[in-house]
Amino acid sequence: MPIGKQAIVNHHREVPFHLLNDVPELSCGEPGSGNLIVEGDNLIALKALLPYYAKQVKCIYIDPPYNTGNE
C-alpha cells in the first residue's frame, strides 16, 4: 500500500542533522579551499551541508549505488 505523497514530500523533515567529520588521510588539496567530497546516505549528507553551506553550494553530484545490491 502506498504511504502517500505527503509522507514523501515531508520525509526530509524527519531526518536529523548530522555533523560532517573530516578525514585528513583521505583529503587532498589545500584545507579550506571550499571543495568537499562527502560520503554517506544522500539525504543525511545533504542535511549535514545545510548548517554551514546553505545557499553557497554550486554543484552536487550524487552517485547512486548502481548494481551493488544496496538500496
Q: Residues 17-69: pLDDT tens digits? A: 778 887 878 777 777 777 777 877 778 888 888 888 888 888 888 777 666 66
**Distance separating alpha carbons of residues 70 and 65, to the nearest angstrom:** 6
Whole-number pLDDT of residue 46: 83
Indicate the helix (H) or strand (E) that contains 13: none
Which residue stretches of 1-71 are H helix? 5-9, 42-53
Q: In the structure grid, which three cell numbers stand for residue 20, read together?
A: 560532517
**Distance separating alpha carbons of residues 62 and 33, to the nearest angstrom:** 21
DSSP-derived letter for residue 71 is -
**pLDDT tops 60 at residue 2:** no
Whole-number pLDDT of residue 71: 57
Count the neighbouring beta carbons within 10 Å of the beta carbon of residue 30: 8
